[in-house]
Amino acid sequence: MQSRGAAVIDVDASGDGLDDWARYPPTEIIPPGDAVAFSQFSSGTAARLRKLAVYRRWRDGDHVVERVPDDLVVTVIALGRLRVIAKDQRGEEAFVGCLSAGGVHGLASALTETPWPTVGVADGYCETFQIDALALKELARTDAALAMEVSCVLGRQALELMALSIAKLESLLVDRVHAVLVHFAGAIGRPAGPGARILDLSQNDLASAVGASRARVNVELKALEKAGRVALGYRRMVIYERAAQDVEG
C-alpha cells in the first residue's frame, strides 16, 4: 500500500501480535501529520523525501530509534513526540530532550554512517516517517537543493544543542533549572497566552537534564513558582516570559 510514494507498514514493536491496531486505512491518501512532519523542508523537497519514507505508528514506550540499530534511518516525527535519552556505561538513563511533530532525528548519523548515541522512545502514541540513510545520501548527492535544506536542518539542530549546553552552564541550580526550562519551552512548548508557554515535562526528566536530584530540582521549582516565573502541574508547567528576578537558591 502506498501514499504519495510513502510505504505504510503495520507495527508490532511490542511483540504482542496486535498488528491490526496500527493498520493504515487503505481509503486514506495522505497520512495524518504529513504536512507537519516535513514542515522544515520546502514542498518540493518534502515530496521527494516522502517517496523514500516508510510511515509507522508506535505505542507509548516503544523504542522508535535504537542507539545501535541494524539499519541507519532518519526519523521524522508526524504526530506525538519522542523522548531522546542517552545511557551511561551502567545503563543509567540521562534525558537529552524531546522531538515533537516536525522534528528530525538521525540526520547526522545518516550522513556520517555512524550510529547515533541516543535512543528515541515514543512518549505516548506516536507517528513517524522513516527514511533509509543510504537512500537519503544517494538523493542528496544528486539534488543540491535537498542537500542544502538538510544542511540547514543540521545547522539548526547544532544551534539548539549549543543553546542547551549554555543553559546548563549556570552555576546556581535555580538559574540552571530556569534556563533549561526556558530552552525546552521554546523548543517543544506551546503558547499559553501572552508571555507564557506550556511545557509537558516531568520533574524526573528535568532533573536528569540539569544534572541534579529530583528533590533538589523540586525545591528550586517551588522557588521559581513563588517568584511567579513558573506554574507547576502534574508533568506539566507553564513558563512565563518576564523580567529576570533574583531567586534565592
pTM, full prediction: 0.76
**Confidence tier at 115 by pLDDT (50, 70, 90):** confident
Which three cell numbers, joined as nine digits, stand for 230? Answer: 513558573
The domain spans of the chain are 2-165, 170-240
Report the CATH fold assignment for 2-165.
Answer: Jelly Rolls (2.60.120)
Using CA atoms, how far residue 135 sits from 51, 78, 139, 194, in Å, is 11, 20, 6, 44
Q: What is the dihedral of CA 161, 210, 174, 162, to 10 degrees?
A: -10
Residues 6+ apart with CB under 8 A from 8: 1, 2, 24, 31, 54, 55
Proportion of the chain above pLDDT 70, given as a percent: 81
Question: Do you know the residue count of the chain?
Answer: 249
| CA–CA gap between residue 174 and residue 220 (Å, rounded) | 5
Tens-digit pLDDT profile for residues 179-212: 999 999 988 898 888 889 999 999 999 999 998 9
* 8 Å CB contact between 197 and 190: yes
- 2-165 and 170-240: identical CATH topology: no
| CA–CA gap between residue 31 and residue 55 (Å, rounded) | 8
The pLDDT value given to residue 12: 41
Amino acid at 30: I
DSSP letter for 239, please. Answer: E
Q: 30: how many CB neighbours lie within 10 A of its CB?
A: 11
**Confidence tier at 242 by pLDDT (50, 70, 90):** low
Residues 6+ apart with CB under 8 A from 12: 18, 19, 22
In this structure, what are the phi and psi dihedrals at residue 34, rounded to the nearest 5 degrees? -60, -50
Evaluate if residue 95 carries a pLDDT over 80: yes
- Right CATH number for 170-240 from 1.10.287.610, 1.10.645.10, 3.30.70.270, 1.10.10.10? 1.10.10.10
The pLDDT value given to residue 70: 63
End-to-end CA distance of the chain: 57
What is the average per-residue pLDDT within 209-223?
Answer: 94
In this structure, what are the phi and psi dihedrals at residue 3, rounded to the nearest 5 degrees? -145, 105
The pLDDT value given to residue 192: 87
